[in-house]
Amino acid sequence: MKTLVTGGNGLVGSALKQLNKDWLYVDRRTCDLTNRQDTLALFKTVQPDRLVHLAAYVPGFYKIDKVDSFAVNVRINENVLEAANVSNVNRAIFCLSVNMFPDNPLHYPMDEKMIMEGSVSGPFAGYAYSKRMLELQCQNYNSQYNRQYFGIIPCNIYGKNDNLDSGRLIPNLTKQFKKAIQDNTSVTINGSGKPLRQFVYADDLAKIIPILLDTYHKTEPLICCGNEEVSIAELAHLIGKVLNFENEIAFDTTKPDGVLKKTVKGSYIDNMFQFTPLEEGLKQVLL
């Protein structure tokens, strides 16, 4: 059975390569997924039986293009969905995002049924809505063409192939701490440190995805993260501990905190998989 993975050089794609070397991995150098004809040609050539769609245009924290955050992702997703369907790919996993969840939910923790409830705002809204549209189109293809396309919803992903210049939370803090260790200085973190976050280790997702391809025969999206939740302050101290940082950790409360809480909980995967504790995962990534 031939499995095609888009976004093969990303965090999760790189982790998947280590465990499933016989799968076919493509990245932006292999195929421009924003180009419809190139994407259709890729699927026609490969003729995959299954698909794991990880590719996305992810807006960097320091340079957010609100237009492309939506438009480029919609273009990629539409091309991949069409190409998969035309090539008769019946089973596919699509990577969604915790950003899809509403800013002001009715309750916490949020579950899979809440991804379309309420509005999303802020600089990542375009990205969030592109993921909502992806979930909608998966269900449209399932209904109209009798496919089995479904999404996984990871929280903040971290891993061994992370880009320290991405501006995302763990890479950004890691970069700060490593520079402070090198310069023997303190670390100052923007905000109060009180916002709560959940994280999932890319290696865990790489183990979960093949299991779901083989055993999950529904089409409802699935949250992929454990129940561990830490504040940004706790995360900073954990990274400092792993890196043996001994100087002061301060918080600049004149800077905004951003979203204070976006707690999610999924039952299906949580009941079948033991997620890597954050401190253990950080040790594997940072040391």
pLDDT of 1 over the 70 cut: yes
pLDDT of 93 over the 70 cut: yes
CA distance 154 to 145: 27
The pLDDT value given to residue 61: 61
The pLDDT value given to residue 62: 58
State what percent of residues in the chain have pLDDT above 90: 89
What does the pLDDT look like over 56-80, one tens digit per residue? 998 766 567 889 999 999 999 999 9
Query: What topology does CATH give the domain 160-196+228-263+277-286?
Result: UDP-galactose 4-epimerase; domain 1 (3.90.25)
Could you say which of 25, 57, 108, 127 is catalytic?
Answer: 127
The pLDDT value given to residue 44: 98
Topology agreement, domain 3-157+198-224 and domain 160-196+228-263+277-286: no
What are the residue boundaries of the structural domains of the chain, listed by start? 3-157+198-224, 160-196+228-263+277-286
- Report the 10 Å Cβ neighbour count for 127: 25
Specify whether 127 is catalytic: yes
For the chain, the residue count is 287
pTM over 0.85, yes/no? yes
pLDDT of 14 over the 80 cut: yes
pLDDT of 97 over the 90 cut: yes
Query: What topology does CATH give the domain 3-157+198-224?
Result: Rossmann fold (3.40.50)
The pLDDT value given to residue 250: 97
What does the pLDDT look like over 25-44, one tens digit per residue? 999 999 999 999 999 999 99
- Report the 10 Å Cβ neighbour count for 35: 14
The pLDDT value given to residue 81: 98
CA distance 274 to 99: 23
Average pLDDT over residues 176-189: 96
The pLDDT value given to residue 58: 85
